[in-house]
Amino acid sequence: MVRPGGIGDFIVSLPALECLKADFTEVWTAPANVPLARFADAARAIPRTGLDLLGVTEAPPKLIDELRSFDSIVSWYGANRPEFRELVLGMGLPFTFFPALPPEGTGMHATDFYLSQARTLGGAASDGIPRIDCPREHEEGEAFAVIHPFSGSPRKNWPLERFRELAHRLERQMAVRWCAGAEDPPLEGAARFDDLYSLACWLARASLYVGNDSGITHLAAAVGTPVLALFGPTDPAVWAPRGPNVRVGRW
């Protein structure tokens, strides 16, 4: 399976990917997402495969042979590259292509959209909740909340000062720790992790997570941490994280 996109895009599609799992399943995805494909037998970063250069430069014979070795390739990569789709299908490679984004205006949650695609291929049943297994041990007296005040777009961010006000209130009940991604703005004292699975395991130890519509918010929900997801311009009916411990607020 080839699943490009950001952290949140990958996580909301996890139920669909998992219900398509075969006797041997390999996932090609964005480099940062590779550690999160834990259900798969193997996972690789798309740039390391050379797939993104197919149709741009001469196709390496090794890559074509490798693609031919798969019985089936389900791909969300190539949705916006018609020349890529024509090339690989013209070679007789076993690709099935799906649109990478839910259609606008339907109100269908992204996870349900991807699951509907998987069902056309006979995918197994799913409850539609993305999950990433992590250790959840809590040491005595270690209760803490995590706040991640950023996202992939500034327009989706609740004002930082409002997060600081919330943190001040939370500190009456538990410690508050801040979190920031590698590409987020500087934030004094924020925890940063190079590996997303290491971040996931840290989030799994938290008693509460608060964040914007972001990939890290989806990650916190997927490991089972109680989540308050704050949505502004984006539609939570389509993009809210899923799980029994998720609550959504609008601003």
Quick one: pLDDT at residue 147? 98
Q: What are the angstrom distances between the C-alpha of 121 and each of 72, 96, 229? A: 11, 9, 32
Q: If you average pLDDT over residues 89-100, what whole number do you get? A: 96
Quick one: pLDDT at residue 58? 82
Q: What are the pLDDT digits (tens) for 111-141? A: 999 999 999 999 999 999 999 999 876 555 6
> Strands, DSSP E only, in the chain?
2-3, 26-29, 42-45, 73-75, 95-97, 144-148, 175-178, 208-212, 227-231, 246-250
Rounded percentage of the chain residues whose pLDDT exceeds 90: 90
Check pLDDT > 90 for residue 185.
yes
Check pLDDT > 70 for residue 148.
yes
**4/132 Cα distance (integer angstroms):** 18
Quick one: pLDDT at residue 142? 79
Q: If you average pLDDT over residues 186-198, what whole number do you get? A: 95
**204/124 Cα distance (integer angstroms):** 27
Whether the model pTM is above 0.85:
yes
Q: How confident is the model at residue 182 (pLDDT cuts 50, 70, 90)?
A: confident
Q: What are the pLDDT digits (tens) for 210-223? A: 999 999 999 999 99
**54/36 Cα distance (integer angstroms):** 25
**Single-letter amino acid code for the residue at 28:** W
- Residue 2 sits at φ, ψ, to 5 deg, of -120, 110
**247/149 Cα distance (integer angstroms):** 16
Q: If you average pLDDT over residues 8-17, what whole number do you get? A: 98
Quick one: pLDDT at residue 30? 97
Q: What are the pLDDT digits (tens) for 43-83? A: 999 999 999 999 888 878 899 999 999 999 999 999 889 99
